[in-house]
Each structure stands twice: as structure tokens, then as C-alpha cells.
């Protein structure tokens, strides 16, 4: 989990949030509880898109580090400063796994039919399974 600083502007019924370290990542909600929940999900999705597009993912700075950033100082005026914890995608890591041979052949056929690599196909399958698991 990574702790990310979020700036919230607005008032009850109309809140908006953005992340100083992740330009372009914004979300909104009617109440703060919903905003926090949406923000974590949206930021993970935004960064996942950056990774898929081959864009560099910026490091999330601490509040102490941001206090020295003049843009942050200006942006935080009249804002609520919040912190969210989110699982951000990182760099790809090579792993060695074992599976039954015919299952691997099925995976390879399905990946080829989808125009994906074996690794990409297995990663998407794992994400789909994890989204329904209580981990």
C-alpha cells in the first residue's frame, strides 16, 4: 500500500479531489466518505493506465516533501488535505510458475486469440479473480 496525498475542494453535495503527484487524476462525489472510496479506486485505475501506456509513474511524495512545493502550497489554499492508501501498480517482475501442461496450452491459445501475451493474459486473469476475492 502506498499513502498518497489528495487535495479536496468544494462543499457538502459537491466535492472534488485531485492528487498533486498524479496530474490528470481527479474525481468527485456528493459526500466525503464516497469521495475517499472513489478516489482510491480511481487513482489505482489511472496509474494502471499509465503503466499500460508505458508512461513513467511518479513517486508519491510525503506531506513533508510537498510542504516545500510552491504549487502544492498554492493549491492547498481552502482545501482539505487528505491521505489515501492505495495499491498502485508497479514495474513488472519476472516470476517462475508451474501449471498443468494442457492448462498452459489453453492459456496460450486464449491469449493469442485476445492478441495478448501469456504474461498479460495471466495478469488480467489474476486481477479479475482478485477483484472478487476478499483480500
Continuous segment of H or E residues that includes residue 105: helix 101-114
Provide the sign of the torsion angle of the four alpha carbons 32, 80, 66, 16, taken in this order. positive
Q: How far is CA 14 from CA 32, 34, 74, 108, in A?
A: 9, 11, 21, 47
Q: What tens digit of pLDDT does each residue of 14-72 get? A: 999 999 999 999 999 999 999 999 998 899 889 888 887 888 888 899 999 999 999 99
pLDDT recorded at residue 90: 66
Q: How far apart are alpha carbons 60 and 4 in whole angstroms?
A: 6
Across the strands, what pairs with 3? Answer: 85
Give me the pLDDT at residue 65, please: 94
pLDDT reported for residue 87: 78
Amino acid at each position: 500500500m502506498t499513502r498518497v496525498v489528495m487535495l479536496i475542494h468544494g462543499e457538502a453535495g459537491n466535492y472534488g479531489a485531485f492528487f498533486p503527484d498524479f496530474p490528470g487524476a481527479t474525481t468527485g462525489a456528493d459526500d466525503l466518505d464516497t469521495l475517499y472510496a472513489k478516489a482510491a479506486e480511481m487513482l489505482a485505475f489511472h496509474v494502471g493506465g499509465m503503466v499500460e501506456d508505458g508512461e513513467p509513474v511518479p513517486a508519491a511524495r510525503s506531506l513533508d516533501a510537498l510542504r516545500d512545493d510552491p504549487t502544492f502550497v498554492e493549491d492547498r489554499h481552502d482545501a482539505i488535505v487528505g491521505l489515501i492508501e492505495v495499491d498502485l501498480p508497479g514495474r513488472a517482475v519476472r516470476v517462475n510458475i508451474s501449471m498443468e501442461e494442457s492448462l498452459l496450452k489453453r492459456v496460450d491459445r486464449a491469449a493469442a486469440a485476445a492478441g495478448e501475451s501469456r504474461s498479460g493474459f495471466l495478469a488480467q486473469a489474476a486481477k479479475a479473480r482478485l477483484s472478487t476475492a476478499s483480500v
